[in-house]
A = this chain, B = another copy of it.
Amino acid sequence: MATIYQVSELAGVSLATVSRVMNNNVRVSEATRNKVLQAMEQLGYRPNSIAQSLASSRSNSIGILVSELHGPFYGEMLTGIEAEFRAAGKHVIIAAGHSERATEEDGIDFLRSRNCDALILHVEAVSDQFLIDLSKKETPFVLLNRQVPALADRCISLDNELGGYLAARHLLQQGHRHIGYIAGPMWKADARDRFHGHQRALAEYQLTADEALFFEGDFRETGGSKGLQALLASGRPFSAIVCANDEMASGALTAARELGYEVPADFSVMGFDNVNFAYYTYPKLSTIDYPVSAMGHMAARWVLKKVYQQSNIDVQQVFNPHLIPRDSVAEAANT
């Protein structure tokens, strides 16, 4: 592999000049620039990015920690992030946190040890304090889908409370008054926020959530099917359920069918996230759109702006969800 030294020799200029044409910020005369370019071409020269990083103390790499690498949600997020950075010539190092405190902390550590210029973190299990402490260390980071008041300027998040509100209101407007709720793990902030929004909507109708019609799931399909079974087992009548994400809604739909119920004739089902497959469930899932890809892009742009000084970039930090009505919700029968 040719080095910068051989290029400089072939072109008959100094190392410094070659370096300058590579980082074309400084002025180099057209003539020498061409000589150098030609020499590079001829030698098939490729700069050694490791050496560049060492010398410039900038690795051009961004560490991404997400809970999982699979699943419709994280996939979209990663796609958005990667696209943005790739275009900027930066590269992306990924790690999975699996929603566990130790693994998340370990992942952050791992990424930091890799000399990332910045981190994009989708963490759920580490404490706010941990993040606040982390913010005092040298590596900058943004938080995706998390609100830490003390770190407000580094948070890119969705208004989950509003989403929960919109979902419930949709059902209420369709006349539903007995609404079951299959929540996400309540130690997760987004799960809690969604439920709070739900409660707020109910309150507007002078209603409160029935504890017997509440089930705490795991954000996965099985959580939805177990949740539905639990609601049914409670013996309490209900005409609709909201699931805190689409995976659980899908599980609930499947379970409903297996148990002989028909959605939305027997009861309506709302999802949340509007992941790709929500259109392909049966019936098509009414849900709340989560602009996850856009938010991934935005996190990347935050980094480009704050860390790589690309000042012409605008960043939006709070996103709003909106309702996607489809076929899994129908008007309530006469109550």
Contact = CB atoms under 8 A, between A and B. Distances in A.
Interface of A: 1, 46-51, 53-54, 59, 61, 68-72, 74-76, 78-79, 82-83, 86, 91-96, 107, 110-115, 138, 221, 250-251, 253-254, 257, 276-277, 279-282, 284
11 contacts: A47-B113, A50-B50, A68-B75, A69-B78, A70-B72, A70-B78, A74-B75, A82-B95, A86-B107, A92-B93, A250-B280
A54 B115 CA distance: 13
A261 to B, nearest CB: 13
A111 B96 CA distance: 20
Contacts of A94: 78, 82, 92, 94
A96 B79 contact: yes
A257 to B, nearest CB: 6
A72 B221 CA distance: 14
Copies, count: 2
A254 B74 CA distance: 24
Contact of A71 (B47, B75, B250): B75
Given A54-B54, A70-B75, A79-B68, A49 B93 contact: no
A219 to B, nearest CB: 13
A149 to B, nearest CB: 28
Contacts of A284: 254
B253 A48 contact: no
A70 B61 contact: no
A281 B284 CA distance: 11
B83 A76 contact: no
Contacts of A71: 75
